Amino acid sequence: MGVVGLGTMGAGIAQICVQAGVETVGREVSEELAERARERIAHYLGRGVDKGRLTSEERDAALDRLTTTTELADLAGCGLVVEAVVEELDAKRELFRQLDGVVAPEAVLATNTSALSVTEIASATERPERVVGLHFFNPAPVLPLVEVVRTRAASDDAVETAYAFAERIGKRPIRCADTPGFVVNRILIPLLNDCVRVLDEAGVTPEDLDTAMTAGLNWPIGPCALIDLIGIDVHVHASEALHSALGEARMEPPPRLVEMRDAGHLGRKSGHGFFAYDT
Active site members: 114, 135, 147, 185
Please state, in angstroms and as integers, the Cα–Cα distance from residue 251 to each residue in 56, 79, 117, 192, 236, following that order.
Answer: 46, 36, 16, 9, 10
With contact defined as beta carbons under 8 Å apart, do 209 and 174 qualify?
Answer: no
β-strands 145-150, 131-136: how paired? antiparallel
Query: Both ends of the chain: CA-CA distance in Å?
Result: 32
Measure the CA–CA gap between 106 and 101, rounded to whole angstroms. Answer: 12
- φ, ψ (nearest 5 deg) of residue 6: -115, 40
Dihedral angle computed from the Cα positions of residues 226, 118, 28 and 79, in that order, rounded to the nearest 10 degrees: 120
